[in-house]
Structure 1
Amino acid sequence: MAFLTGSSGNSWQPVMTADTTTPSYWLNWRVMLCIIWVLLSLIITSLLISKYEGPRKSRHRNRESQEEPAGLLYEDEVWKPCLKGIHPAWLLAFRVAAFFVLLSLLIANAAVDGGEIFYFYTQWTFSLITIYFGLGSLLSMYGCYQYHNKVGGDRTEDFDVEQGTNSNESNGEKHSESNQEHRVRQTAGFWGYIFQIVFQMNAGAVMLTDCVFWFIIVPFLAIKDYDLNFLIINMHTINAVFLLGDTALNCLRFPWFRIAYFFLWTAVYVMFQWIVHACVSLWWPYPFLDLSSTFAPLWYSSVALMHIPCFGIFVLVIKLKHTLLSKWFPHSYQCVKT
């Protein structure tokens, strides 16, 4: 919280409540309950991921059914826009611009406040969304190259088929068949699935950080008469703006089971904090992480439950996108509803 500067000019930091390196801090019923909550989250997420994730499961479960599985992702869905009339280069330009703006803010934040910023969940999430747009930029570059080759190839094939039809009907049929085989969609590779997973992790994490900041932390600081600087306000606003902008443009699916990765992301952060505090006596970055409080198990379970509505908000955003764009552009909209 070193980014939050009071009206008196003094920085604000949480107060240490206990020595976190002593055995008595960890060996009690409160910590055991919190560990149980985290372990339950890890078990549930592991079950969801093992059941639904990846294209291989689709070939086994849906060999006789025409229904596409929840975890399926096609290669072109990673880089193509949601409307046929939009060139993939526009999505590439948006992702490149977002990456450099977010990276610049992250570097500026680290330069002003030091490496301690990565002690906070906000900066973890901000780094994750920066990685998302960096990886998305690379995948969009590849997609633009594929799109350019496809458009050029289609023109050549169409010309060849037309010439073949004029000279030999059977030859034209062969060209048509080879053209259909060429257009079979390829399943996304490793980096495509990583990109999709990071997208859905960001969807929940950005909603969680921004909602906690604006609806819990900001009102508390307002009561204490603290002012917020320009940088911290931007970091809790522009992340959502860019993510929503990419969501409006992209063609990525949004299966519900990938909420598991959102829980996993937060669980890793919590375990990181536990390890750090077990080794070094430090103040907690967020008061609700302090295990010395009698209400610690309640806080931990409440934050875990908050993941569901935060992820649900983005599910509603995706459904609204499908509803509006499919209605406004029925012949151009090409996203799959999930």
Structure 2
Amino acid sequence: MTTKTNTLDYWLNWRFFVSAIWIVAAMVVSALMIWRYEVSAKSRNQHGEDQQVKVGTLHKDDVWKTSYKSISPIWLLTYRILSFLLLLGLLISDAVLHSGRIFIYYTQWTFTLVTIYFGVASLHSLYGLKLCRKPSAERVNIMGSDVENGRYVSSSQDEPRLLDAAGIWVYAMQIIFQMCAGAVVLTDIVFWLIIYPFLTSKDYRLHFLAVCMHSVNAVCLLVEVALNRLNFPFFRIAYFVLWTCVFVTFQWIIHMCVSLWWPYAFLDLASPYAPLWYVSILYFQFSSQPIH
């Protein structure tokens, strides 16, 4: 019989407190990383204290240009739109077939995030192509304003790269991109190597949507990584860690209020191995984060 999760006895024990310490510690460390490398570094650059280009610095064209000069940004735009429509169709089909309760799973959270990424990326690609179609004089004015603001960066091809520094929406896309990459790797590894072979019943049969939910998003992101110019500064793993911690916190709040089955057996705090499972989740987050 499933243990009731909305009772005091379920939560007021050493298993929950140790697990909570792991989660809170991960969130604090992530917040400190964001403050040090994201907020504080940008503040120093704005005040002219550090003119060196920092790791993780973005420019507007990084989100819509390709990593190969031979591949036109139009192909990247086309790929992003097709991926967005494919992922959105699969997500809607999954929600219709299994109802909205399917979003209690981390898989659906991740799949939704990847879908949002491709939607946002498509908009950025459209903006970039629109910018390319502007008259040359207008582009020169944009570049001139960057020079006045002291924004000069040399590219790897030794050509002057006079570009407007990235705004908040460009950085938001980069953050979502890196969160997606880590979350997809974590989700698929856990499903194919742990959940499916060891934690499912013997009569369980994989259906088409289950396979798609744990493979299509990974394939789409792999091609995206190969095509785009976005990098993976390691410190932004903090956003991915926060994403997973928010999911865990959401699960705790829901199960405190209503007695429900756990979407993943290793989240069940009734097990004496629960703290070990939770610290393993944090370990997988660091090991699954790609660096590019």
TM-score, normalisation: structure 1: 0.77
Aligned-residue RMSD, C-alpha: 2.4
Deviation at 1:71, TM superposition (A): 3.3
In structure 2, the residue matched to 1:324 is: none
Give the deviation of 1:225 after TM superposition: 3.9
* Conserved 8 A contact 2:146-2:164: no
Aligned match of 1:288: 266
Partner of 2:158: none
Cα displacement string for residues 40-95 of structure 1 (whole angstroms, at most 9, x for unaligned residues): 001100000001115724516974553x1123111110111111222211111010
- Are the aligned partners of 2:56 and 2:232 in contact in 1 as well (CA < 8 Å)? no
Equivalent residue letter for 1:250:
N
Question: How many percent identity over aligned positions?
Answer: 49
Closer/same/farther in 2, CA of residues 280 and 298 from structure 1, 3 Å limit: same
Match for residue 238 of structure 1? 216
Instruction: Measure the CA separation in 1 of the matches of 2:31 and 2:224.
Output: 28
223-232 vs 124-133, greater mean Cα deviation:
223-232
Question: What whole-Å deviation, never above 9, does each CA across 1:179-228 have from its counterpart, x for those lacking one?
Answer: 99596211111111110000000110000000011111221267714210
Q: Deviations over 1:119-165 (max 9, x none)?
A: 0000000000000000001111001111222xx517998xxxxxxxx
Select between 199-208 and 55-64 the one with higher mean Cα deviation: 55-64
Q: 2:198 aligns with which of 217, 220, 224?
A: 220
Among residues 185, 208, 214, which one is paired with 1:207 in the alignment? 185
Q: For 1:221 and 1:35, how far apart are their aligned partners in 2?
A: 24
Compared CA separation, residues 62 and 72, structure 1 to 2 (3 A): farther
| Aligned twin of 2:42 | 56
Candidates 75, 78, 100, aligned match of 1:93: 78
Q: CA 1:155/1:128 → structure 2, altered by over 3 Å: closer, same or farther?
A: closer
Structure 2 CA distance for aligned equivalents of residues 242 and 42 of structure 1: 29
Is the Cα contact below 8 Å between 2:45 and 2:51 reproduced in 1? no
Which residue identity lines up with residue 265 of structure 2 in the other structure?
P
Offset of residue 245 of structure 1? 0.6
1:29-40 counterparts in 2 under 5 A? 29-40=14-25
Deviations 1:237-289 (CA, angstroms, capped at 9, x unpaired):
11000001111000112100011011100000000000000000000000000
- Alignment map for 1:123-272 (pairs within 5 Å): 123-149=108-134, 152-153=135-136, 181=147, 184-220=162-198, 224-272=202-250
Preserved CA contact (<8 Å) 2:44 2:50: no
2:256 match: 278
Amino acid at match of 1:117: I
| Structure 1 unaligned blocks of 5 or more | 1-15, 158-174, 319-338
Deviation at 1:303, TM superposition (A): 1.1
Distance 1:156 1:128 in 2: 33
Aligned residues: 278
Is the contact made by 1:58 and 1:69 (CA closer than 8 Å) also made in structure 2? no
Question: Paired residue for 1:310, among 262, 267, 288?
Answer: 288
**Unpaired segments of 5 or more residues in structure 2?**
149-160
Q: What is the deviation of 1:23?
A: 0.6
**Cα distance in structure 2, aligned partners of 1:156 and 1:237:** 41
Distance in 2 of aligned mates of 1:82 and 1:99: 20
For residues 51 and 64 of structure 1, what CA distance do their matches in structure 2 show?
14
If you compute each CA radius of gyration, which structure gives the higher value, 1 or 2? Answer: 1
8 Å CA contact 1:45, 1:263 repeated in 2: yes
CA–CA distance in 1 between the matches of 2:146 and 2:123? Answer: 28
What amino acid is aligned across from residue 56 of structure 1 in structure 2?
K
What amino acid is the match of 2:175?
A: I
